[in-house]
Amino acid sequence: MATFGEELIQSAREALDIARGNSAPAFVCVPDEVDVAAIRKRKKMSQGRFAETYGLSVSTVRDWEQKRRAPDRSARVLLTVIDREPRAVVAALGAVSA
């Protein structure tokens, strides 16, 4: 069993590898907030098309954009993936195009 000092040194080495780009972090950071309207506009989609394409309800998209509701953690993850890799989401959902 490693001592606290050994674990600390190992953690520092892992942090350095991550900082140098030699390793990926062991966990994924989920953004605290996402700008749903900005994501949708970057995709050049109406609220209806955005909702339909990504399996969301139009009222939910509208509520998020008007700040009546905030996306929960799972929705923030989905929205982040939609923003960065929309074709992967479309492919996973079995849709035709993004």
Q: How does pLDDT run across 21-53, given as a tens digit for each residue?
A: 888 877 767 888 999 999 999 999 999 999 999
Residues 13, 45, single domain; the answer is no
CB 30 within 8 A of CB 77: yes
CA angle in degrees (0–180, nearest 5) for 78-82-85 = 120
How far is residue 68's CA from residue 37's CA, in Å, rounded to a whole number? 13
Same-domain status, 50 and 14: no
Q: What tokens appear for 92 in the block? A: 């996973």
Which structural domain range is residue 19 located in? 1-27
pTM over cut 0.75: no
8 Å CB contact between 34 and 76: yes
Q: What six digits make up the tokens of 91? A: 């492919």
| Amino acid symbol at 31 | P
